């Protein structure tokens, strides 16, 4: 039974008058699943309420930041306390020192770190820094990986670019795009060939160690190790984009899980507690090339602002106090088991991937180890499944090529309700 949508429809019609596509970020427009988006009026815990009063169990969590759940009291209280003393100073403040120290304590590869205001700024700064540090121009990235809307990285990109079928954005000069080499993920031969031919030109390789912008797939054993060796041998900077995986998959992110030490890491999402934030850090000999110490310029009016710092610190404190990563793994395993049970009889049509609190149900038998295999998914069947779940009060990411996220607010009743809805929705979709 479809949900009432009068208010959301009215708001979307109004939004279309003022905002391109009616959204401030393309992936929210439901282009990957059809229909039009609902408008969120409030959210608490793992549930979002829309403008018509419908409630959904939320598996998007604002695309990752809300790892405690929406409106977590420790985070909201920290923001209120900070706001009482002023919203932004543009002057160094104690909270930004505390968050920098905390990032360094949780991620040993980070010797120096700088805060900014989005994941895009973090990856963009890593690329400029790597080019300035090496004096080289070439960047290597991977098909389907999305690193924000950075000109040099909007080449064969994932997430909304992939969903909209335009992995190469208009407006990026061909001459700039030529400085970005795109390789298939999990292909060691392609890595070795590219480094063999152009190793000395490569300023940096940027990778999502766990690609989660074409759904979710994992590095094959030995792949990241090989990448690390090749970067070291050729003097290329290895950049891990952990904007999504950082502080979510483990205290030390994917680099802790896979035991790889990148030269630079980009962060975002979780470290802002839901407020605009990004950060990037790594080897001090590279980071110290940044202005005002070095020749690579990078800046931001609101970088390190006290509210985002307070929210991020409160969120990380709470994650640690509640042994959050263990709890997220337990809920993730429970959800995986429940969804596999719900999918019984459809195993030949589905491929469920999960790592920790991130997951994706591909509508293809699999295996899914790279973008080409992810794109075999039946996106029409996924769209039917998405809407059938939405009508049952379950909000999944509105694209086959996105990952789902769990929070500490998701519990057994939510998992059970989700599995029941999935069993019914799969019968409709397949
Ligand atoms: P932001 O600029 O959106 O804060 O971060 C860009 C970014 C960088 N790196 C990775 C690995 C990312 O996943 C992202 C952004 N993630 C998408 C979700 N797939 C954000 C959602 C959106 O674009 O609205």
3-state class (DSSP) for residue 330: helix
Per the annotation, the verdict on 112 as an active-site residue is no
For residue 166, what pLDDT is reported? 82
For residue 1, what pLDDT is reported? 64
Torsion angle defined by CA atoms of residues 288, 290, 296 and 302, in that order, rounded to the nearest 10 degrees: 170
For residue 165, what pLDDT is reported? 81
Common-topology check for domains 6-71+322-429 and 73-320 = no
CATH code assigned to 73-320: 3.40.640.10
Give, for ligand 1, the residue of 24, 31, 119, 374 to mutate: max count of ligand atoms closer than 8 Å to Cβ. 119
Domain ranges of the chain: 6-71+322-429, 73-320
Q: How far is the CA of 428 from the centre of ligand 1 (A)?
A: 31
Cβ neighbours of residue 250 under 8 Å, at least 6 residues apart?
Answer: 256, 257, 325, 356
Cβ neighbours of residue 420 under 8 Å, at least 6 residues apart?
Answer: 342
Average pLDDT by consecutive 10-residue portion of the chain (430 residues)?
A: 90 98 97 97 98 98 98 98 98 98 98 98 98 98 96 92 87 94 97 97 98 98 98 98 98 98 98 98 98 98 98 98 98 98 97 98 97 98 98 98 98 98 97
Domain 6-71+322-429 has CATH 3.90.1150.10: yes
The continuous run of DSSP H or E covering 344 comes out as: none
3-state SS, one letter per residue, for 236-305: CEEEEECCCCECCCECCHHHHHHCCCCCEEEEEHHHHCCCCCEEEEECHHHHCCECCCCCECCCCCCCCC
DSSP calls for 347-376: GGG-EEEEETTEEEEESS-----SHHHHTT
Give, for ligand 1, the residue of 28, 62, 63 to mutate: max count of ligand atoms closer than 8 Å to Cβ. 63
The closest-lying atom of ligand 1 relative to the alpha carbon of residue 148 is 6
Q: How far is the CA of 147 from the centre of ligand 1 (A)?
A: 6
Catalytic residue among 146, 223, 258, 395: 146
DSSP calls for 367-425: ---SHHHHTTS-HHHHHHHHHHHHHTTEE--SSTTS-EE--TT--HHHHHHHHHHHHHH
Cβ neighbours of residue 178 under 8 Å, at least 6 residues apart?
Answer: none
């Amino acid at each position: 039974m479809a949900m009432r949508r009068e208010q959301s429809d009215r708001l979307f019609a109004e939004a279309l008058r003022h905002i391109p596509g009616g959204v401030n970020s393309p992936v929210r427009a439901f282009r990957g699943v059809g229909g039009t988006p609902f408008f969120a009026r409030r959210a608490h815990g793992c549930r979002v309420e829309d403008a018509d009063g419908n409630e959904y169990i939320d598996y998007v969590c604002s695309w990752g930041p809300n790892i405690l759940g929406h409106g977590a009291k420790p985070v909201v209280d920290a923001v209120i306390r900070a706001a009482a003393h002023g919203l932004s100073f543009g002057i160094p403040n104690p909270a930004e020192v505390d968050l920098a120290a905390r990032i360094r304590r949780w991620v040993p590869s980070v010797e120096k770190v700088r805060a900014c205001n989005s994941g895009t700024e973090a990856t963009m700064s890593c690329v400029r820094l790597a080019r300035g540090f090496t004096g080289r121009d070439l960047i290597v990235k991977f098909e389907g990986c999305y690193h924000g809307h950075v000109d040099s990285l909007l080449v064969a990109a994932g997430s909304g670019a992939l969903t909209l079928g335009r992995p190469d954005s208009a407006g990026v000069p061909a001459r700039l795009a030529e400085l970005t080499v795109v390789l298939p993920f999990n292909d060691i031969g392609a890595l070795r060939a590219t480094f063999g031919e152009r190793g000395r030109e490569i300023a940096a390789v940027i990778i999502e160690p766990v690609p989660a912008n074409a759904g979710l797939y994992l590095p094959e054993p030995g792949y990241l190790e090989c990448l690390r060796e090749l970067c070291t041998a050729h003097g290329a900077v290895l950049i891990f984009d952990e904007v999504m995986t950082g502080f979510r998959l483990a205290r030390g992110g994917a680099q802790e899980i896979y035991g790889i030490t990148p030269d630079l890491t980009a962060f975002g999402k979780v470290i802002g507690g839901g407020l605009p934030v990004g950060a990037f850090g790594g080897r001090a000999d590279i980071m110290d090339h940044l202005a005002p110490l070095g020749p690579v310029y990078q800046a931001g009016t609101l970088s390190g602002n006290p509210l985002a710092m307070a929210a991020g610190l409160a969120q990380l404190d709470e994650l640690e106090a509640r042994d959050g990563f263990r709890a997220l793994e337990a809920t993730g395993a429970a959800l995986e088991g429940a969804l596999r049970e719900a999918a019984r009889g459809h195993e030949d049509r589905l491929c469920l991937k999960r790592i920790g609190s991130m997951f994706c149900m591909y509508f293809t038998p699999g295996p899914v180890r790279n973008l080409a295999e992810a794109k075999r998914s039946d996106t029409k069947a996924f769209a039917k499944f998405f809407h059938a779940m939405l009508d049952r009060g379950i909000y999944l990411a509105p694209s086959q090529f996105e990952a789902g996220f769990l929070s500490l607010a998701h519990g057994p009743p939510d998992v059970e309700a989700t599995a029941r809805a999935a069993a019914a929705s799969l019968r409709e979709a397949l």
